[in-house]
Amino acid sequence: MAASVAVGDVVEDFELLDETGTPRRLDGDLLATGPVVLFFYPAALTSGCTIESCRFRDLAESFAEVKATPVGISRDAVPRQKRFADTYALGFPLLSDPDGVVARRLGARRSYAVGPFLTRRMTFVIDTDRRVLEVINNEAGMQIHADRSLEVLRARQP
């Protein structure tokens, strides 16, 4: 059974390769400039995941205003993540979690596949202290993840 991270929990540091093959750490790397919106998606280059990722891309200026960085994560291999990022000019890191280690740790990995998909569509808004500000678990609302993340981050602003 996958662990489940809730609002207020501290996310354990992790390291995964991004779409360029560069190792990226949550602590000290991704969180260095502000909060991270870590969104899990089932599979790169599929219709729902493209809609979701492009919504984050289209709201890049709004995320920059709250000093937050969207970070996509799926089981896809680095070359597929690169193709996804390049095809849609996403402009934010896409992390490869091929064994679902991070997904399992946060509760975004299913114990069974839904079709070919083991990863749940879930988003974690993570503050600079690695504390979870919000968990968005919505499999069907592709645009809800980016929109709700922004609401939470704007409410956090002084």
Question: For each successive 10 residues of the chain (158 residues), what is the average pLDDT?
Answer: 78 96 94 95 89 96 96 96 97 95 86 66 94 87 89 86
Q: What is the pLDDT of residue 2?
A: 46
pLDDT digits (tens, 9 = 90+) for 38-68: 999 988 998 889 999 999 999 999 999 999 9
Give domain status of residue 4, yes or no: no
Residues recognised as catalytic = 49
Q: What is the pLDDT of residue 114?
A: 58
Structural domain for 142, as ranges: 9-155
Helix axes 144-156, 47-58, angle to 10 degrees: 30
Q: What is the pTM of this model?
A: 0.91
Distance between CA atoms of residues 63 and 56, nearest Å? 8
How many folded domains does the chain comprise? 1
CATH (domain of 28): 3.40.30.10
Give domain status of residue 1, yes or no: no
Give domain status of residue 3, yes or no: no
Q: Give Cα 67 to chain centroid, integer Å.
A: 16
Q: What is the pLDDT of residue 62?
A: 97
